[in-house]
Amino acid sequence: MSKYIILQNKKFKFDKNFIFKYFYNQFFKYNLNPTLETRKKNIYIETYGCQMNLADSEVVKSITKLNGFDFTSNMKDADIILVNTCSVRDNAEQRIIGRLGDFKHLKQSNPNLVVGVMGCMAERLRNDLTDTNINSLNKIIDIVVGPDEYRKLPELIENAFVGEKGVAVRLSRVENYDDIIPYREDGIAAFISVMRGCDKFCTFCVVPFTRGRERSRTVQSVVKEVEELAKRNFREVTLLGQNVNSFSDGENDFSDLLQSVANVDKKMRVRFTTSHPQDMSDKLISTIAKNENICNFIHLPVQSGSDRILELMNRTYDSKHYFNLIKKIKNEIPTAVLSTDIIIGFPTETEDDYKSTVELMQEVQYDGAFMFNYSPRENTKAYLMEDDVPFEIKTRRLNEINEMQRAISLLKNQKDIGKVEEVLVEDESKKSENFLRGRTDGNKMVIFPKEDGIKIGDYIQIKIERVNSATLFGEKIK
Ligand code: SAH
Ligand code: SF4
Ligand code: F3S
């Protein structure tokens, strides 16, 4: 049994680690052990992966702030570093493992530093991160916490300060952090998670394993959050879920949620992502069409144009269903801006399968697309299939569709030249302080000259003058 000691009204585990830390503090006053002093401890959070992770980091900030922690944007000032991670493809994980290695020297110069891994990789790799010796990560990582256990973080951090490593990775069927108001700096755009998890089990995808079963918040709690944001002068909300259109709180579906959110403030733009083609109902399309402030931007991942591959992926639709959806969307929302995700080189993908994807992309004429090489993920069904498309072929196909999409995006953007677009002013341009940036209703980035009287959060009318495949450039109409 462990022995404990009470110091300054706090309970510490009395072991070798504690004795070391105690004497270390006595000798090096400049670097006091955070558990032995009263100042607030600073947390530095780094977030990888999808927007749901960005939203979760805000939930974590809220939970830790309520428990007396503070934040820093400089990791050198941090008492605790938390890395919110993504497992979707192997290269996402490798990048994060590399990043964790960077913390080694920080830990050497400050042995009291606590490092926590949270999110999807924490869930997937669990004990591996603290137990085994992959890149000596076990020496760096003190806490491993999965997406449904963030309420435990304050306790896990306190334990880590006294040398106790912690792993909390239980997935929940009910946790949706509905009662927690995420901690947000003032701004104009906010992400709001409206549901968690995924029940679709596409055969390539790790998300159902890292995020668990699907569960939704209530319309009331989401609306309340949007009302608060409106009071703080936020101008845009993006409703998030892995398949946001399968939202259901028992009484309301996603169209109902979208309508209620759009009613809060007609000056608040409403976006949402990601939609699954199976759950894109007629009601949802008409809700988007009839509300001015629901943006006409729809991200509708197709993954492949080959019915055989779609079946193997367990996407639960075929290309005919997808084309029909696109037709309906274009009919009802003529200004719709469409984007997609594509996986190249799924097991058994032939040249003909690939050509079907190319043809689908040419037919739909997406405004943008995210394209990835297939990455085998342990535990998924596709993992049992041989990853048999050679790397060179995947790469060639990926380069080809990247090129093709760039040309399509450019052509579509060129059609905007001469048009007047309503732009929500977001910030200074990243490239020049003489310019501002904002987005159109269709989510296209617009760059325009700074002028007296234009403020961040304003809606202004910009005439588009020139474009490239990623950005529009214009000037405010007088
Ligand atoms: N829920 C969303 C997508 C979530 S993951 C949907 O169903 O559309 C984001 C994208 O990553 C996916 O759309 C897919 O294109 C890609 N992706 C997921 N798993 C992958 C894997 N194993 N290899 C390559 N790309 C993958
Ligand atoms: Fe993954 Fe499919 Fe769920 Fe999207 S719908 S998160 S791709 S399992
Ligand atoms: Fe990545 Fe998890 Fe999002 S695997 S894409 S961070 S849900």
CATH assignment at residue 406: 3.80.30.20
What is the CATH number for 470?
2.40.50.140
| Pair (149, 255) in one structural domain | no
Q: Look at residues 393, 414, 435 and tell me which one is the last residue of a structural domain.
A: 414
- Amino acid letter for position 331: N
Q: What is the pLDDT of residue 23?
A: 67
Residue 173 lies in a domain: no
| Pair (356, 469) in one structural domain | no
Residue 34 lies in a domain: yes
Residue 44: strand pairing partners: 81
| Pair (59, 102) in one structural domain | yes
| Pair (387, 463) in one structural domain | no
| Pair (354, 464) in one structural domain | no
Question: Which ligand 2 atom is at minimum distance from the Cα of 243?
Answer: 5
Dist. CA 367–CA 471, nearest whole Å? 11
Residue recorded with tokens 């000596």 = 136
Q: What is the pLDDT of residue 260?
A: 98
Report yes or no on whether pTM surpasses 0.85: yes
Question: Which ligand 1 atom is at minimum distance from the Cα of 375?
Answer: 23
Question: Which ligand 1 atom is at minimum distance from the Cα of 303?
Answer: 15
Q: What is the domain range of residue 444?
A: 420-476
| Pair (207, 258) in one structural domain | yes
Residue 70 lies in a domain: yes
Q: What is the pLDDT of residue 232?
A: 97
Residue 28: other Cβ atoms inside 10 A: 11
- Pocket flag, ligand 3, residue 120 (CB < 6 Å): yes
- Pocket flag, ligand 3, residue 88 (CB < 6 Å): yes
Residue 430 lies in a domain: yes
| Pair (236, 370) in one structural domain | yes
C-alpha 399 to ligand 1 mean position (Å): 18
Residue 38 lies in a domain: yes
* pLDDT in single tens digits along all 478 residues of the chain: 456 666 655 566 677 766 766 665 655 443 444 444 567 899 999 999 999 999 999 999 999 999 999 999 999 999 999 999 999 999 999 999 999 988 988 988 898 999 999 999 999 988 777 766 665 788 899 999 999 999 999 999 999 999 999 999 999 999 999 999 999 999 999 999 999 999 999 999 999 999 999 999 999 999 999 999 999 999 999 999 999 999 999 999 999 999 999 999 999 999 999 999 999 999 999 999 999 999 999 999 999 999 999 999 999 999 999 999 999 999 999 999 999 999 999 999 999 999 999 999 999 999 999 999 999 999 999 999 999 999 999 999 999 999 999 999 999 999 999 999 999 999 999 999 999 999 999 999 999 999 999 999 999 999 999 999 999 999 999 8
Residue 176 lies in a domain: no
Residue 299: strand pairing partners: 339
User: Is the bond preceding 274 in cis, omega lying within 30 degrees of 0?
Assistant: yes
Dist. CA 94–CA 82, nearest whole Å? 17
Are the CB atoms for 451 and 425 separated by under 8 Å?
A: no
C-alpha 276 to ligand 2 mean position (Å): 8
Q: What is the pLDDT of residue 275?
A: 97
Question: Which ligand 2 atom is at minimum distance from the Cα of 199?
Answer: 3
Are the CB atoms for 319 and 309 separated by under 8 Å?
A: no
| Pair (371, 446) in one structural domain | no
Candidate of 299, 372, 379, 387 to mutate for ligand 1, largest count of ligand atoms within 8 Å of Cβ: 372
Q: What is the pLDDT of residue 74?
A: 93
| Pair (213, 163) in one structural domain | no
Q: Which of 300, 301, 239, 299 is nearest to 269 (CA)?
A: 239
Which residues sit with their C-beta closer than 6 Å to ligand 2?
198, 200-202, 205, 207-208, 242-243, 276
Residue 269 lies in a domain: yes
| Pair (370, 428) in one structural domain | no
Residue 178 lies in a domain: no
SS3 of the chain: CCCEEEECCEEEECCHHHHHHHHHHHHCHHHCCHHHCCCCCEEEEEECCCHHHHHHHHHHHHHHHHCCCEECCCHHHCCEEEEEECCCCHHHHHHHHHHHHHHHHHHHHCCCCEEEEEEHHHHHHCCHHHHCCHHHHHHCCCEEECCCCHHHHHHHHHHHHCCCCEEECCCCCCCCCCCCCCCCCCCCEEEEECEECCCCCCCCCCHHHHHCCCEECCHHHHHHHHHHHHHCCCCEEEEECCCHHHCECCCCEHHHHHHHHHHHCCCCEEEEECCCHHHCCHHHHHHHHHCCCECCEEECCCECCCHHHHHHCCCCCCHHHHHHHHHHHHHHCCCCEEEEEEEECCCCCCHHHHHHHHHHHHHHCCCEEEEEECCCCCCCHHHHCCCCCCHHHHHHHHHHHHHHHHHHHHHHHHCCCCCEEEEEEEEECCCCCCEEEEECCCCCEEEEECCCCCCCCCEEEEEEEEECCCEEEEEECC
| Pair (158, 231) in one structural domain | no
Strand order in the sheet with 189-193: 189-193, 236-240, 269-273
Q: Look at residues 414, 447, 466 and tell me which one is the last residue of a structural domain.
A: 414
C-alpha 304 to ligand 1 mean position (Å): 11
* Nearest Cα residue to atom 11 of ligand 1: 88
| Pair (123, 228) in one structural domain | no
Which residues, at least 6 apart from 221, have a Cβ–Cβ distance to it below 8 Å? 178, 179
Which residues sit with their C-beta closer than 6 Å to ligand 1?
88-89, 204-205, 207, 242-243, 274, 276, 301, 303, 341, 343, 372, 374-375, 377
The count of structural domains within the chain is: 3
